Amino acid sequence: MLKMFACAAITCLFSVAMTYAADQAHRVVVYDGVASTVAASADASADLWITMADLKKATGFVVKPQGVCREQLCFPLPKAKKAEFVLKKGSTNWFNLSAFARLVKQPVARDEKNGVWYFGKREDERSTYLASLKAPNFTLPDLAGKTHSLADYRGKKVLLITWASW
Amino acid sequence: MPGWQAFFHPLKDKNFEIISIAQDTGGARDAAEWINAAKPEYTALVDDKHLVTQLYNMVNVPTAVWINEKGEIVRPNEVAYVDNRYKAMHGIDAGPYLEAIRDWVTNGDRSQFVMTEQERKERLTPPSPERAMADSEFALAEYLYKNGMGADAIAHFKEAQRLDPANWNYKRQAWALSNAEKDYGTSFMKEVQKLNGKPYYAPRKLPEGKRP
């Protein structure tokens, strides 16, 4: 009974979300620092549901039988809770990007007014260098726009100095 | 920056590089004047998303990291002034640190200033969940600011500051993009005064009595 009620509540919430989306058709998802406009499906106060096509476009991840995967990386979805992540509505499959962020411990900031969602670094990405003591790599431009990566300087001692104009 | 150019010049052929990175949301618009004035022979980059602040868990500028030939961190984050212009404010003498860098350039991993693995591991800690969330709030605020939603960015800059109150980068950058008194009810100098004598930078530890 409780399960039926929960399912009905989820369906109801989703219907509300779909109605809301008709008024606010799009969201902006910033993922790995890159902004993508996606079709909206949820109320701004609820989780962010996006289509599978938008999931691939905005994040590079796709849902496979073994989990949510990108190249060699794969995060299995908890079987008992799969409905929290994936939902079919009509002919469209939707994915709960907020629930996925919680699963992989990814900090998410959102601005409801402007419909912008920022997905930060997953927990496993945030501290990979600590065990190896390897300096995290980055690629940034100089004033001429030419990009430089820290890895390009391997073989030299590097004094990394941050500063600011402010 | 001219100070770092003067420091670097005699060392530039010693298999040593300085990579200086401006942590400026305004990017080249704000950083170019300083870089051009220094005419650096070293690598000067611009980081308009504060990526290095996030990647290295930094909270202040100037902050330096020593990285050896193998790409390993041999001295993690620490304050790095090239001269004593602001010494009256923070009390940090630049001289011993510059001498330590010269020693490292000459002696590499054998330098007495290279930290042991144990010391490095103690200093390199993973970002707290609050810091990770602050990074996302700050990045969202930057996105809003850069895309014409600057007024809406302020709440997210404030949230980043609340989540990671020791992070001066997140405070000072936000204040610089705004009228700090009007939008944040404070200013850099007011906040420094609130420290009431506590050090503005985390204390730097160079080996005692081993100076070159």
Provide the token pair at B63: 């902050």
Q: What Rg do the C-alpha atoms of chain A give, in angstroms? A: 20
Asked if B40 and B8 touch (Cβ cutoff 8 Å), the reply is yes
**Closest to A84 (Cα-Cα) out of A72, A68, A93, A95:** A95
Cβ-based burial of A12 (10 A; exposed 0-12, middle 13-18, buried ≥19):
exposed
Pair type for strands A49-51 and A92-96: antiparallel
Confidence check: pLDDT of B123 > 80:
yes
Confidence check: pLDDT of A103 > 90:
yes
Provide the token pair at A96: 């709960």
A166 interfaces chain B, CB cutoff of 8 Å: yes
What integer is the mean pLDDT of A77-87? 92
Query: Which residues lie across from B73 on neighbouring strands?
Result: B67
Q: What pLDDT is attached to residue A19?
A: 37
Give residue B102's domain range: 2-123
Q: Is residue B162 part of a domain?
A: yes
Q: Is residue B26 part of a domain?
A: yes
pLDDT digits (tens, 9 = 90+) for B153-171: 999 999 999 999 999 999 9
Provide the token pair at B22: 């401006």
Contacts of B126 in chain A (CB under 8 A): 126-127, 130
Contacts of A141 in chain B (CB under 8 A): 45-46
Final residue of a domain: which of B123, B139, B158? B123
Q: Across the beta sheet with A86-89, what order do the strands follow?
A: A49-51, A92-96, A86-89
A3 interfaces chain B, CB cutoff of 8 Å: no
- Alpha carbons B4 and B37: distance in angstroms, whole number: 12
At A106, the pLDDT band (50, 70, 90 cuts) reads very high
pTM (two decimals): 0.89
Residue, of A15 and B64, whose pLDDT is higher: B64
Nearest CA in chain A to B59: A162
Contacts of A163 in chain B (CB under 8 A): 1, 20-23, 34, 61-62
Q: Is residue B211 part of a domain?
A: no
Confidence check: pLDDT of B116 > 70:
yes
Q: What pLDDT is attached to residue A1?
A: 45
**Closest to B176 (Cα-Cα) out of B150, B201, B194:** B150
What integer is the mean pLDDT of A36-54? 84
Q: Is residue B151 part of a domain?
A: yes
Residue, of A66 and A13, whose pLDDT is higher: A66
Domain extent listing, chain A: 2-125
Confidence check: pLDDT of A17 > 90:
no
Same domain, B12 and B68: yes
- Alpha carbons A107 and B9: distance in angstroms, whole number: 42
What integer is the mean pLDDT of A94-102? 96
What integer is the mean pLDDT of A106-132? 91
Query: Which residues lie across from A142 on neighbouring strands?
Result: B45
Same domain, B139 and B180: yes
Residue, of A18 and B2, whose pLDDT is higher: B2
For residue A109, which phi and psi values (nearest 5 degrees)?
-115, 140
What integer is the mean pLDDT of B129-145? 97
B45·A150 Cβ contact <8 A: no
Final residue of a domain: which of B91, B123, B155? B123
Same domain, B19 and B84: yes
At A40, the pLDDT band (50, 70, 90 cuts) reads confident
A73 interfaces chain B, CB cutoff of 8 Å: no
Same domain, B60 and B76: yes
Q: What pLDDT is attached to residue B196?
A: 86
Q: What Rg do the C-alpha atoms of chain B give, in angstroms? A: 18
Q: Is residue B200 part of a domain?
A: no
- Alpha carbons B101 and B8: distance in angstroms, whole number: 10
Confidence check: pLDDT of A24 > 90:
no
The amino acid that residue B22 corresponds to is A
Q: What pLDDT is attached to residue A77?
A: 96
Cα of A91 to nearest chain B Cα, Å: 33
Contacts of A143 in chain B (CB under 8 A): 28, 31-32, 35-36, 44, 46
CA dihedral sign, ordered B153, B154, B158, B161:
positive
Q: What pLDDT is attached to residue B115?
A: 96
Query: Which residues lie across from A35 on neighbouring strands?
Result: A30
Same domain, B17 and B77: yes
Q: What pLDDT is attached to residue B59?
A: 96
Q: How far is CA A161 from CA A29, A33, B54, B101, in A?
A: 31, 23, 14, 12
Same domain, B106 and B23: yes
Same domain, B78 and B148: no
Confidence check: pLDDT of A116 > 60:
yes
At B14, the pLDDT band (50, 70, 90 cuts) reads very high
Among the ranges given (A28-32, B2-6, B132-136, B145-149), the one the predictor scored with the smallest mean pLDDT: B2-6
- DSSP collapsed to 3 states, chain A: CHHHHHHHHHHHHHHHHHHHHHHCCEEEEEECCEEEEEECCCCCCCCCEEEHHHHHHHHCCEEECCEEEECCEEECCCHHHHHHCEEEECCEEEEEHHHHHHHCCCCEEEECCCCEEEECCCHHHHCHHHHHCECCCCEEEECCCCEEEHHHHCCCEEEEEEECCC
Same domain, B154 and B89: no
Q: What pLDDT is attached to residue B32?
A: 97
Q: Across the beta sheet with A116-119, what order do the strands follow?
A: A34-39, A26-31, A116-119, A108-111
What integer is the mean pLDDT of B108-127? 94
- Alpha carbons B3 and B16: distance in angstroms, whole number: 17
Is ipTM beyond 0.90?
Answer: yes
Question: Residue B81: which CATH number?
Answer: 3.40.30.10
What integer is the mean pLDDT of B7-29? 97
**Closest to A123 (Cα-Cα) out of A100, A99, A107:** A107
For residue B169, which phi and psi values (nearest 5 degrees)?
-60, -45
3-state secondary structure of B114: coil
A10 CB contacts (<8 Å, ≥6 apart)? Answer: A83, A87
Query: In B107-124, which positions are buried (b, 16+ CB within 10 angstroms) versus exposed (e)?
Result: eeeebebbbeeeebeeeb
Tally of structural domains, chain B:
2
Q: Give B 50-79 residues with CB within 8 A of chain A.
A: 51-56, 58, 61-73
Q: Is residue B137 part of a domain?
A: yes
Same domain, B60 and B156: no
Provide the token pair at B148: 């014409």
Residue, of A93 and A130, whose pLDDT is higher: A93
